[in-house]
Amino acid sequence: EAEAVFAQVHLGLFNTDRVFIDPAFTPEVAANRYVNWIRDELDGGGVLYELQRGEEALGFFVFRDRAAAVGASVLSGLYDGQTAPGMGVVLLHAILDRARIRGMKRLSSRISTNNVAVVKTHALLGFSISEIQYVFVRHAGEGTGMNG
């Protein structure tokens, strides 16, 4: 199952990611970052679920218990061709259902602010923002932008 998800990631699944859109990196580097992230989560106790409609794979998510009755939607995505309006809600409902089945009273998630659709979907389903983090990048060899 993980290999099928990795194949989807290599098709450009996370194209709003800061590494993907950074011209200093290739799409392959960005995909490898996510594949390795998923592997690390699975090695650390995360569970990979694939969302399906009949025999058709729609997307995936990695779920992890964080603390007593607190779960985390660590990483999720919809496969190419599955991003029609409403599909993000379907995926997030599947994550919420998994949290309920596992007895979670609270679910946390971290979202890239580059992915506005996912931020809106979480807000639509009652999630609130507890903090915003920004990542600034300066590649080795780049100037400071300051003259003199």
Question: How does the average pLDDT of the chain come out, rounded?
Answer: 87
Assigned token pair, 98: 């998994």
Residue of higher predicted confidence among 73 and 78: 78
- For the stretch 26-49, pLDDT in tens is 999 999 999 999 999 999 999 999
The DSSP 8-state label assigned to residue 61 in this structure reads E
Hey, is 25 helix, strand or coil? coil
Assigned token pair, 144: 């400071």
Q: What is the pLDDT of residue 147?
A: 46
- Residue 12, exposed/middle/buried by CB under 10 A (0-12, 13-18, 19+)? middle
Q: Determine if the pTM surpasses 0.95.
A: no
- For the stretch 111-146, pLDDT in tens is 877 788 888 888 998 888 888 888 788 888 766 655
